[in-house]
DNA sequence: TGGCCTACAGTGGTCAGACCACGGATTGAC
DNA sequence: GTCAATCCGTGGTCTGACCACTGTAGGCCA
């Protein structure tokens, strides 16, 4: 009699995997919403007719995937879907690839170029204002490398957000950890000079203006130019760093 | 004495989470390669000085993330990084969003447009031949909706592969499950007529030719046109499906 | 001698019960 | 009224045992 339980869940898998898919499907279907609290482990184990260790394996797996928030002494809560896990998974997936820190820039360009095209169509006034605000912050933090980098990121993120595409947004968030690492690594090769930073502001301003005019082609072009210039700048700095010093000590 | 163990791993987290990060870091650093076999659970638990249930929770979590392949009676093996997990994570992340099946097309366009630009620079002769081969398959499977869909996907995948960018490739694979669902859903609204299919082949051929000429702008433009046409076609079919029938029964 | 079949050892899979550690609410003293 | 100690429910961990699956080594039979 009891063995029939296997059939009624229609899962050939057993134990933890069964419980895992059980919850995953509930999450996908929306039966479980963010913030919901699960039953206590002991009750849950009883309800699903598995032992507590088995249940815990499944719960822990869900927690590692970021779907659950398990709090000692309080209980387990359903967590809002979070891109941070996506980022981790992507990092793990891409880890064995060589030069991944350079390569991930291609994904960034891909996302942003499409995002800005969409933003030209869809961006609301508030979206544009938000982007403009990050631009102001950028101008105001030119001499601080730390804050400068942050506001730079904020500018680009605001564009992606203005696209109104959840997919682009999530993927952009997913690659952002790698982007950060890439940025940090690159900073070692990059020197911030006044000439460079002013050019940076101009480039951003140009991108914004094209977006505000809602001209997709111009916006994408200026964005691509921005990336290309950054790329060349980096290359030039790299070369000069390896060249024998001539003037300065 | 034994409690010091907590310090020496430098992890504030405890138990399963500690073991989890332990293995994750080994995987990231490359200490553990795909195909490697882990020690038996009992030995491993002893070596890491945790109990077997705790170790199992961590191992199971890694397995759920697709990093480990645990086989009953044989052992646990390190698995090659796989985009399928990424796809699952993305699906989970995007599940609560409305109209995600339409929206994911934006991500597709983003990836492919950048991919084809890169492919114009980087594609080898073999890459081009591979794309040409999928084009042939496409032409040869016009009357079979099933195979036609597959070869259509193969064509676009070959382009992304030709970009030589691991990031673009992985992300494209990650969204492909959603793309498939989107495609299936759309098929309900789409009717394959000879006029349409011939236009489809032309569009693909045009994309390929621009790529073979290594003209990034032309390639991206023709690709965008291809997407736009598909979009309009779908919309038109949707409208006609909802309009009162006039001629045919 | 060859093939098949059984027994065994090693592995993951599961279980039960107990105890510890943490958080929050209740209750008591001040 | 405020603050503290206590208690209860929760997750966190452990032990030790047993089951189920896999591959192999050995014996059996033809």
For residue range A74-99, what is the model confidence (pLDDT) as tens digits?
Answer: 999 999 877 888 898 898 888 888 88
Q: Is the CB of B57 under 7 A from strand C?
A: no
What value does the mean pLDDT take over residues A33-43? 91
What predicted TM-score, i.e. pTM, was given to this entire model? 0.84
Q: B130 or A86: whose pLDDT is higher?
A: B130
DSSP classification of residue B13: S
Does the pLDDT value for residue B9 go beyond 60? no
Per-residue model confidence (pLDDT) at position B52: 94
Interface residue of B30, B171, B177 to substitute, partner A, most A CBs within 10 Å: B171
Q: Which of A115, A134, A107, A125 is nearest to A216 (CA)?
A: A115
Does the pLDDT value for residue B188 go beyond 90? no
C-beta within 7 A of nucleic chain C, residues 6-25 of A: 14-16
Q: Which of B229, B228, B230, B210 is nearest to B220 (CA)?
A: B210
Per-residue model confidence (pLDDT) at position B178: 92
Rounded distance between C-alpha atoms, residue A211 and residue B238, angstroms = 31
Does the pLDDT value for residue B166 go beyond 70? yes
Are B94 and A163 inside 8 Å of each other by CB? no
Per-residue model confidence (pLDDT) at position A189: 59
Does the pLDDT value for residue A16 go beyond 50? yes
Per-residue model confidence (pLDDT) at position B238: 65
Angle at A197 between CA A191 and CA A202, to 5 degrees: 150
* Residue A110 near residue B114 (C-beta atoms within 8 A): yes
What value does the mean pLDDT take over residues A161-171? 96
Q: Which residues of B touch A163 (CB under 8 A)?
A: 106
* Residue B61 near residue B17 (C-beta atoms within 8 A): no
Give, rounded to a whole angstrom, the gap between the first and last alpha carbons of chain A.
86
User: What mean pLDDT is reported for chain A?
Assistant: 85
Q: Which of A184, A208, A214 is nearest to A122 (CA)?
A: A214
Rounded distance between C-alpha atoms, residue A201 and residue A206, angstroms = 8
Interval B98-107: pLDDT, tens: 889 899 999 9
Nucleotide at minimal C1' distance from the A71 CA: D11
Interface of B with A in 99-158 (CB under 8 A): 100, 103-104, 106-107, 109-111, 113-115, 118
Q: Is the CB of A53 under 7 A from strand C?
A: yes
Per-residue model confidence (pLDDT) at position A10: 43
Q: Does A53 touch chain B (CB under 8 A)?
A: yes
Q: Is the CB of A51 under 7 A from strand C?
A: yes
Q: Which range is most confident: A150-154, A173-177, B146-150? A: A173-177
3-state secondary structure of B75: strand
**Within its chain, how far is the Cα of B203 from the centroid?**
23
Q: What are phi and psi of A68, to 5 degrees?
A: -130, 150
H-state helical runs in chain B:
5-8, 16-29, 41-47, 52-64, 83-94, 100-122, 125-140, 145-162, 166-187, 194-212, 216-242
Per-residue model confidence (pLDDT) at position A136: 92
What b/e readout covers B89-112, taking b as 16+ CB neighbours within 10 angstroms? bbbbbbeebeebbebbbbbbbbbb
What value does the mean pLDDT take over residues B61-67? 90
Per-residue model confidence (pLDDT) at position B244: 63
Beta bridge partners of B77: B37, B69
Does the pLDDT value for residue A146 go beyond 90? no
- Tokens 């609560």 identify what position? B96
Q: B17 or A116: whose pLDDT is higher?
A: A116
Does the pLDDT value for residue B248 go beyond 70? no
Q: Which range is most confident: A193-197, B46-50, B146-150? A: B46-50
Measured in angstroms, the CA of A225 and the nearest CA of chain B are apart by 14
> Two tokens at A1?
């009699």
What value does the mean pLDDT take over residues B212-230? 93
* Residue A167 host element (H or E): helix A166-187
Per-residue model confidence (pLDDT) at position B39: 93
* Residue A19 host element (H or E): helix A16-29
Per-residue model confidence (pLDDT) at position A5: 33
What value does the mean pLDDT take over residues B219-245? 78
What value does the mean pLDDT take over residues A229-238? 72
Rounded distance between C-alpha atoms, residue A203 and residue A138, angstroms = 12
Angle at B179 between CA B178 and CA B185, to 5 degrees: 90
Covered bases, chain C (protein CB within 7 Å): 10-18, 21-24
Q: A121 or B139: whose pLDDT is higher?
A: A121
Measured in angstroms, the CA of B43 and the nearest CA of chain A are apart by 19
Per-residue model confidence (pLDDT) at position B162: 97
3-state secondary structure of A152: helix
Cβ neighbours, 10 Å, residue B71:
10
Task: Look at A46-55, A139-148, A191-200 and tell me which has the smallest mean pLDDT.
Answer: A191-200
Q: What are phi and psi of B44, to 5 degrees?
A: -60, -45
Measured in angstroms, the CA of A91 and the nearest CA of chain B are apart by 8
Are B167 and A107 inside 8 Å of each other by CB? yes
Per-residue model confidence (pLDDT) at position B80: 85
User: What mean pLDDT is reported for chain B?
Assistant: 85
Angle at A156 between CA A155 and CA A162, to 5 degrees: 90
Does the pLDDT value for residue B191 go beyond 70? no
Q: Which residues of B touch A67 (CB under 8 A)?
A: 92
> Two tokens at A28?
């996908």
What value does the mean pLDDT take over residues A28-44? 90
Rounded distance between C-alpha atoms, residue B73 and residue B148, angstroms = 42
Q: Is the CB of A72 under 7 A from strand C?
A: yes
């Amino acid at each position: 009699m009891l063995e029939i339980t296997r059939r009624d869940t229609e899962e050939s898998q057993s134990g933890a995997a069964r419980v895992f898919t059980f919850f995953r499907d509930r999450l996908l279907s929306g039966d479980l919403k963010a913030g919901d609290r699960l039953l206590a482990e002991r009750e849950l184990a009883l309800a699903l007719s598995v032992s507590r260790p088995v249940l815990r394996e499944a719960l822990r797996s869900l927690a590692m995937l970021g779907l659950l928030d398990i709090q000692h002494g309080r209980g387990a809560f359903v967590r809002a879907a979070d891109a941070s896990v996506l980022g981790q998974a992507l990092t793990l997936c891409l880890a064995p690839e060589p030069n991944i820190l350079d390569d991930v820039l291609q994904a960034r360009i891909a996302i942003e170029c499409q995002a800005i095209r969409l933003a030209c169509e869809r961006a609301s006034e508030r979206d544009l204002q938000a982007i403009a605000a990050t631009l102001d912050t950028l101008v105001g933090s030119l001499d601080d490398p730390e804050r400068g980098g942050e506001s730079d990121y904020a500018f680009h993120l605001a564009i992606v957000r203005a696209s109104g595409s959840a997919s682009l947004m999530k993927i952009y968030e997913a690659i952002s950890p790698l982007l950060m690492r890439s940025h940090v690594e690159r900073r070692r090769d990059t020197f911030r000079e006044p000439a460079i930073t002013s050019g940076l502001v101009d480039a951003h301003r140009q991108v914004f203006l094209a977006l505000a005019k809602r001209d997709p082609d111009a916006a994408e072009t200026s964005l691509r130019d921005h990336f290309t210039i950054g790329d060349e700048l980096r290359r030039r700095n790299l070369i000069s760093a390896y060249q024998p010093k001539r003037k300065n000590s």
